[in-house]
Amino acid sequence: MTTKYRGSCHCGRVAFEVDGEIGSALACNCSMCQRKGSLLWFVPQADLKLLTPEASASDYQFNKHVIHHRFCPVCGIHPYGEGVDPKGNKVAAINVRCLEGIDLDKIPVTHFDGRAL
C-alpha cells in the first residue's frame, strides 16, 4: 500500500500529489542542488499528479539539459524536477522539503556527488 502525499511551493501556485513510500532522500552537491538545498525522492513520473496547471511552474535546465528543474516564478521554491533515469524511464524528483506532514529527521539521506559528473 502506498501513501498519498501533497506538496507545493511556498505560495501554492505550484501544487501536486504524489503516491509512494519514502524510503530515503538524496542530497546532491551539484551546482544547482547545493544552492537549492533540496532533498530528492525519485518516483515514476506517472506517480506525480499536478493539482495546478503545468504552466504555473517555470522550467530551468543547465549543463546537459536533461533535467527539468521546476520552480515557482512567484515564490522561487523548487518543489520537483523531471527527467529520465539510466534505464530510460520518466521520473520525477520530488523535493521532500515541499511535502506536507513530513518528519525530515525520520528520512535517511544518501549523499550523491553530482559535482563529479
Q: How far apart are CA 97 and CA 37, in angstroms?
A: 9
pLDDT less than 50: residues of the chain? none
The pLDDT of residue 65 = 80
Interval 20-49: pLDDT, tens:
999 999 999 888 888 989 999 999 999 999
Which residue do the cell numbers 506536507 mark?
100
**What does the DSSP 8-state code read for residue 84?**
E
**Distances, alpha carbon 35 to alpha carbons 29, 32, 87, in Å:** 8, 5, 28
Report which residue type is found at 15.
A
The pLDDT of residue 64 = 77
Domains (range + CATH), the chain: 3-116 (2.170.150.70)
The pLDDT of residue 76 = 96
The pLDDT of residue 25 = 97
The pLDDT of residue 114 = 81
Produce one character per residue of 36-54: b if its CB has 16 or more CB atoms within 10 Å, e if not. bebbbbbbebebbeeeeee
71 and 83 Cβ atoms separated by less than 8 Å = no
